[in-house]
Every structure is written in structure tokens, then in C-alpha cells.
Amino acid sequence: MSQFGHVSAVNLRGQNNLNNLWSPQSWRCCYLDGKINTLSFASSDAMGRKLKSPSVRAFMTGSRKDVSPLKVVCIDYPRPDIDSTVNYLEAAYLSSSFRNSPRPNKPLKIVIAGAGLAGLSTAKYLADAGHKPILLEGRDVLGGKVAAWKDDDGDWYETGLHIFFGAYPNVQNLFGELGINDRLQWKEHSMIFAMPSKPGEFSRFDFPEVLPAPLNGIWAILKNSEMLTWPEKVKFAIGLLPAIIGGQSYVEAQDGITVKDWMRKQGIPDRVTDEVFIAMSKALNFINPDELSMQCILIALNRFLQEKHGSKMAFLDGNPPERLCMPIVDHITSQGGEVRLNSRIQKIELNKDGSVKNFVLNNGNTVEGDAYVFATPVDILKLLLPEDWKEIQYFRKLDKLVGVPVINVHIWFDRKLKNTYDHLLFSRSSLLSVYADMSVTCKEYYDPNKSMLELVFAPAEEWISCSDTEIIDATMKELAKLFPNEIAADGTKAKIVKYHVVKTPRSVYKTVPGSEPCRPLQRSPIEGFYLAGDYTKQKYLASMEGAVLSGKLCAQAIVQDYELLAAREPKKLAEASLV
């Protein structure tokens, strides 16, 4: 199959033709030029004549005299070959262990709090192992940190701008197990950074398909001459040598030092931090390099450099609750599990021996099970932690783990913005982290006439209490630098049609130095009580991959404890008869 698919052109005349929107073959390649709004699909019989496709570089630059200035490119790429990587195979083996485990004589009823990716993952794999999860979600929407809502116009707005990497083996396995691989829209293998010193311009790191890892990453860095000088590249490479030679043990030992301090310790110029790692730090954990643990950066670099497609990115083809979470729910319920929305937990009620008796809901109802899982953010767990548990070292260490505030901004404009790409973009702004024109990158949000920018506002600690108007005003000032010819801070150019601001006062845990020893294992010291969440112990830190893996590890611990947990019910009945 051609890398770019077939190219078809049609003058939409202002109409949004979305026939066959969800067809796997219907979204291959589209572009916009200065004259007409042009949507291009593959395998669309009624979409017009076929055109000869210009080179990728012609798409990118649009500077050739014989080609109209092409400002926005939309190309979905084939799913990369990640199924044979070691990490993918390890994740696949862990998934298969649940399906292949002996069927329990008496399935356990496991009550799980929180229907984010960690809770959904826990429930999914417990159901695969033959048990009966009851998943409780306090809100009326699935997804936790990937939740989204539909406004009165039918447009979606999300908790965050979510990117699915090739280096997410458990997430990629999950998509495959659910049969929804076609819902990921893979983009070209590049990282694209805005150039603050040259408003409106971008600098790219392009990973060549023909080279294996880590050569493709090294080539991408060497070929970029706009962000780092050759002396800076050499010093950065030398500084990284201990991490390359020392491997995982070295990486784990860097938890106690910030990115900024580590760079200086290794003799790497501050400009490397300013040019690359401010953007990377904010993208990974919504904080700056003077706060972020270097372990987080090294883990990401290790994944990106050791796997050929590790840094390749994909967007989900629509809103996460329907396009990702509902297939998980359907799988859980098809196996006999339950998912209940609007079931907020008010209290963890204990037995006399300190174990969990039940979860008490806000409406006064109680939910009992053979085992219990808390898959909420760590801050919610700490609020509901029983007094009798607070002095236990396992729980006391959680005080160090605190969610980081983050703001997600959505702005709909009255026109199609042209100075963008069909990709995630690193803003390198002091206020913004990453952004994307979702009207180009995502099938469900596609609009041929108007742009919708989704932006991550970070660090957000000083802004989380500000009004939406203040946040939008600040965002527009930054966008005026990214789109100098199209957006003005005073609104005299592209006009805002509407906006949504989603504030998350406590998002993923703040990966600061010294936090790694405080991350708990999924099996707690309380018999029958378990934890899941990206803050728990797993190697992918605060990420969607970390959340999914934590759920699998939590389910694994429960399956391993089956005999113990199954014996608890007769024991409880015997004790009750003596009272």
C-alpha cells in the first residue's frame, strides 16, 4: 500500500461531507490550499477525480512556483510495525495470562472505584480472568483524565490533548484486543517545534523510516540545524553517555535530581534545556525542568531511542469516552461485569480487623465485594483514606505524591488557520505546552472551513484559579506569536466563535525528585485492598500507558491472591456467627 494513500479532490462549497467518516479506509490524505477547501479521502468513489500527489516536501513548504501555497497537510499513515518489539510481546504475554488462567470455581466479586483508564483496565483484565468486576464511577462520564463532554452545539471538549505513542505497548495491545486498532490515526514520524525567535515558523525532527533505532533518532537530531548547534549536540551526546552505558539502574538513580540540575552537572549548555527540554518537560508532566525529575526524561528518551517507532504518534479518531472507553465497558459487561456511573464513594468502611467491609456511596447505599480496588487519582484516595490506615508506612508515603494542575483549552475560530500541521505541535511558549488543530488531526472533529485548536496550558498552578476569560486572553496573546498573520491578541484577525476551558486542579502526579520511592505497589498491606493508577509502581510513570499497565498489574495481583481472597468469605461468615 502506498505510504500516502490515494489523493482525491473536491470543492466542498462550504459543506461538510462526512460520508463514511468511520470507515478505516476513508481517511488517508487531505490538504487545504489558499483557493478552495479541499478534503481528500482514499477509497471514496464519489469524491472526485484522482490527482497526482506532490512530494512530501512540496506539501510541507508549499513554496514551489508551480504549486499553490499548501499550508495545512493531513495524511494518516499506516499503523507502524510494533507488534514484534520486545515490549509489545511482553505486554501481549501479560494480557494472555488472564485469558489463559484457570477458570475460578467461584468468581470473585471485585469492587473498583474509578472508571479512568486504570480502573477500566483493572476491570477488563479481571473479567478476562473469569472474575466479576463492579466498576464505580463518581461522575456521569467515563475516562477519568481522558474524559470529554459534548456541548449544546454537538462539539466535544476534552480533559487533555491525548497522544498515543508507538512506545505504549500495553495501550497498543489493548486496542488490538478490543479490535479497534483502526481508531488510531497515525501521523508522520516527526516532532515539530515552534520557533519563538521566528514567529510563525517551525523546526522539525524527522525520523527516517529506512533507519533502525537508535539511528533514526540520532539522524533526526543531527539533521536539525535550527534548534541546536553542533557543539551543543556534541556536549549533549557526551552528557547522555552515562545513561546509555548505565542502563536502567542509572536511569532509576536519577530520580533525586531535576532535569535542569542534571543537565548542568553533565556539562550540557543551558540553551539545550531552554530549546528542547522545557517543551519536553511540560509535555511529559506539565511542569518545567527546574521541577521535573530527570528520571522522567531519561525513561522517555530510552523508549523513544530504543524503539524504532517509539516516538511515532497517533491521535484517537474521536472523543475518548465513546471511541476508547465504551469498547472497554462493552467488553467488561459481555463477560458479566458491571459499570455504574454516578456512583461516588463517600467512605471506605472497615471491619474490626481493619480490612474493607464495603464502599459507602454518596446516596447512602453500600457496595460489598470479595476484594476492593481504588483506581482514582492519588489525591482522591488520600481524602478518603480511613484514619486507621494513615499511619501505615505504605499509605503515609503517599503524602509526597501530589497531582499537578493542568488546564486544557479549546478555541473554535471563524476560519481555517493555515500555519499549522496535521500533528502534535510543541509551542515552546512560556504558558502553553503542546497544541493541535483538531479540525485537521481528528476524524470526528474534522471541519473543512473552521479550525478548532486544542491547547494544553502549562504550568498551570498560577492560573488554575483565574477566570476562563483571563485564560483565553493569555492564550490568544501566545497564539498571536504562533500565527502572526492569522491571529491577533486583540481579535482583529481570526475571530473566536466559542471556547471551552477545562481545569483539572489535580491531574497526574507531579514527578518531582524523590517521588519514586513513594509510589506504592498495587497490592496493599491491607488484605483484599489494592491500588491502580499511574502513580502506582510501574515503569511508564504518569501516562496513559502507565495507567493501563497499573490496571493489569493490579488485576494480576488479585488473580495471584485468588485462593486467599476466596477463603475470606467463609472466614467472615464464621466470624459473624460467633457475634
pLDDT digits (tens, 9 = 90+) for 339-376: 999 999 999 999 999 999 999 999 999 999 999 999 99
Q: What is the per-residue pLDDT for 571?
A: 54
Helices 215-223 and 294-306, packing angle to 10 deg: 110
Region 277-297: mean pLDDT is: 96
Q: What is the per-residue pLDDT for 74?
A: 72
pLDDT level of residue 75 (50, 70, 90 thresholds):
confident
Q: What is the per-residue pLDDT for 211?
A: 95
The closest of 524, 273, 274 to 386, measured between CA atoms, is 524
Question: Cα(439)–Cα(454) distance, rounded to whole angstroms?
Answer: 9
Q: What is the DSSP letter of 11?
A: B
Q: What is the per-residue pLDDT for 138?
A: 98
Q: Say yes or no to pLDDT of 13 above 90.
A: no
Instruction: Tell which wins on pLDDT, 483 or 32.
Output: 483
Instruction: Tell which wins on pLDDT, 25 or 195.
Output: 195
Q: What is the per-residue pLDDT for 11?
A: 30
Question: Cα(542)–Cα(519) distance, rounded to whole angstroms?
Answer: 11
Q: What is the per-residue pLDDT for 577?
A: 41
pLDDT level of residue 572 (50, 70, 90 thresholds):
low
Region 211-224: mean pLDDT is: 92
Q: Say yes or no to pLDDT of 198 above 80.
A: yes
Question: Cα(155)–Cα(319) distance, rounded to whole angstroms?
Answer: 10
Residues in CB range of 543: below 8 A, 6 or more apart: 168, 508, 534
Q: Say yes or no to pLDDT of 51 above 70.
A: no
Residues in CB range of 134: below 8 A, 6 or more apart: 109, 110, 111, 112, 337, 338, 340, 367, 369
Region 170-182: mean pLDDT is: 98
- Would you call 96 helix, strand, or coil by DSSP? helix
Q: Say yes or no to pLDDT of 215 above 60.
A: yes
Q: What is the per-residue pLDDT for 245?
A: 84
30-44, 54-68, 541-555 — most confident range: 541-555
Region 93-112: mean pLDDT is: 97
Q: What is the per-residue pLDDT for 354?
A: 96
Q: What percent of the chain is predicted at pLDDT more than 70?
A: 85
Region 434-442: mean pLDDT is: 97
Region 312-333: mean pLDDT is: 98
Q: Most distant CA pair in the chain: distance in Å?
A: 91
Q: What is the per-residue pLDDT for 467?
A: 98
pLDDT level of residue 68 (50, 70, 90 thresholds):
very low
Q: What is the mean pLDDT of the chain?
A: 87
Instruction: Tell which wins on pLDDT, 243 or 308.
Output: 308
Q: What is the per-residue pLDDT for 191?
A: 96
Alpha helix stretches (DSSP H) within 433-521: 438-441, 468-482
Report pLDDT digits (tens) over 487-510. Answer: 999 989 999 999 999 999 999 999
pLDDT level of residue 196 (50, 70, 90 thresholds):
very high
3-state helix, strand, coil in the chain (%, to 5): 35, 20, 45
Cell numbers found for residue 362: 454518596
Q: Say yes or no to pLDDT of 61 above 50.
A: no
Residues in CB range of 558: below 8 A, 6 or more apart: 108, 110, 126, 131, 371, 373, 530, 565
Q: What is the per-residue pLDDT for 249?
A: 86
Question: Cα(439)–Cα(446) distance, rounded to whole angstroms?
Answer: 4
At residue 104's C-alpha, the angle toward residues 99 and 110, to 5°, is: 85
Q: Say yes or no to pLDDT of 36 above 50.
A: no
Q: What is the per-residue pLDDT for 569?
A: 66
Q: E strands of 120-245, at which residues?
A: 132-136, 148-150, 156-158, 164-165, 184-186, 190-194, 202-206
Region 306-323: mean pLDDT is: 97
Q: Say yes or no to pLDDT of 453 above 90.
A: yes
Residues in CB range of 85: below 8 A, 6 or more apart: 169, 307, 309
Of 25-39, 189-203, 293-307, 456-470, the least confident: 25-39
pLDDT level of residue 26 (50, 70, 90 thresholds):
very low
How, if at all, do strands 338-340 and 313-316 pair? unpaired
Region 51-76: mean pLDDT is: 41
HSE-CB for 392 with a 13 A CA cutoff: 13
Q: What is the per-residue pLDDT for 246?
A: 83
Q: What is the per-residue pLDDT for 241?
A: 87
Q: Say yes or no to pLDDT of 18 above 90.
A: no
Q: What is the per-residue pLDDT for 10?
A: 28
DSSP letters spanning 374-408: E-S-HHHHHHH--GGGTTSHHHHGGGG--BPPEEE
Residues constituting the chain: 579
Of 40-54, 131-145, 160-174, 376-390, the least confident: 40-54
Q: What is the per-residue pLDDT for 31?
A: 37
Which helix (H) or strand (E) segment holds residue 412: the answer is strand 406-413
Q: Say yes or no to pLDDT of 579 above 60.
A: no
Question: Cα(100)–Cα(573) distance, rounded to whole angstroms?
Answer: 31
Q: Say yes or no to pLDDT of 47 above 90.
A: no
Q: What is the DSSP letter of 519?
A: P
Region 399-424: mean pLDDT is: 96
Q: What is the per-residue pLDDT for 491?
A: 87
HSE-CB for 412 with a 13 A CA cutoff: 16
Q: What is the per-residue pLDDT for 128?
A: 98
pLDDT level of residue 240 (50, 70, 90 thresholds):
confident
Verify cis geometry, omega within 30 degrees of 0, for the bond prior to 459: yes
Question: Cα(245)–Cα(220) distance, rounded to whole angstroms?
Answer: 21
Region 35-57: mean pLDDT is: 32
Q: Say yes or no to pLDDT of 228 above 50.
A: yes
Q: What is the per-residue pLDDT for 212?
A: 94
